[in-house]
Amino acid sequence: MANVWDILAEGSIAAVGFSIHGQPFVIPMLYGSDRELIYLHGSAASRLMRQLETGLAACLTVTLIDGIVMARSAFNHSMNYRSVVAFGTAKKITDAAQKQSALRTISEHGSPGRWAEVRGPSQKELKATTVLAFHMEEASAKVRTGPPSDDDADYALNIWAGVLPLHVTAGDPIADPKLRDAIELPESIRNFETRQLKPRSKS
């Protein structure tokens, strides 16, 4: 289970899948986790949130891409990746303090330190937002690392093979055009680091 939580800690977007009357839906969502629960949030008017809060069975997936595996044959090309597939149900958080805490967890997951620098949600905003705690009933992690695996006969071919690492990196901050003068870059932005670890593949 530790590997599942480690992957979730590095991810940024979860694909949440569910089915209504035989029609499947998959929705990309920001999330946060405290290594016990996964927290999701959205508009109180959202069809997704209204359905999930009823305890509808759902599937949540997160994938991190670490590199493109270049083999000597087209058939053996692959990707180095880490992924989580989790099955479970979600419960609506109604307690005000728990709701605030869950929203902070989601915010800190994507932008560590940012919550303390900004205005917190107003009562109107909280009322318009549904926060769900997703309980994982079953989860698995799948990982692919390392160089390509070619057919024995193909190793003699004069074709380059190896791994092209992929990284998620942050660029230079772009200020809001409406930003007031003399506002310095906050600490959370100055200290922002990529959420993705360096790929574990070998070139």
Considering the entire predicted model, what is its pTM? 0.88
Cα–Cα distances in Å, from 154 out to 75, 158, 194?
Answer: 11, 9, 37
Q: What is the DSSP letter of 48?
A: H
Distance between CA atoms of residues 89 and 110, nearest Å: 23
- Average pLDDT, whole number, for the chain? 92
- At residue 170, φ and ψ (nearest 5 deg) are -95, 135
- At residue 99, φ and ψ (nearest 5 deg) are -65, -45
Q: For the chain, what are the domain ranges?
A: 2-190
For residue 95, list its beta bridge partners. Answer: none
The token duo for 67 is: 């590199």
Average pLDDT over residues 189-195: 74
CA–CA–CA angle 114, 123, 177 (5° rounding): 45
Tell me which of 94-103, 173-182, 192-201 is least confident: 192-201
| SS3 assignment, position 169 | coil
Cα–Cα distances in Å, from 199 out to 19, 171, 195?
Answer: 34, 19, 12
Distance between CA atoms of residues 85 and 4, nearest Å: 9
State the CATH architecture for 2-190. Answer: Roll (2.30)
Distance between CA atoms of residues 9 and 3, nearest Å: 10
Taking only the tens place, the pLDDT of each residue in 95-144 is 999 999 999 999 999 999 999 999 999 999 999 999 999 999 999 999 99
Q: How would you classify the pairing of strands 13-20 and 129-144?
A: unpaired
For residue 65, list its beta bridge partners. Answer: 81
Taking only the tens place, the pLDDT of each residue in 46-66 is 888 999 999 999 999 999 999
Q: 176 and 145 in contact (C-beta within 8 Å)?
A: no
What is the model's pLDDT at position 2? 67
- Element (DSSP H or E) covering residue 166: none
What is the model's pLDDT at position 48? 84
Of the pLDDT bands very low, low, confident and very high (cuts 50, 70, 90), residue 170 is confident
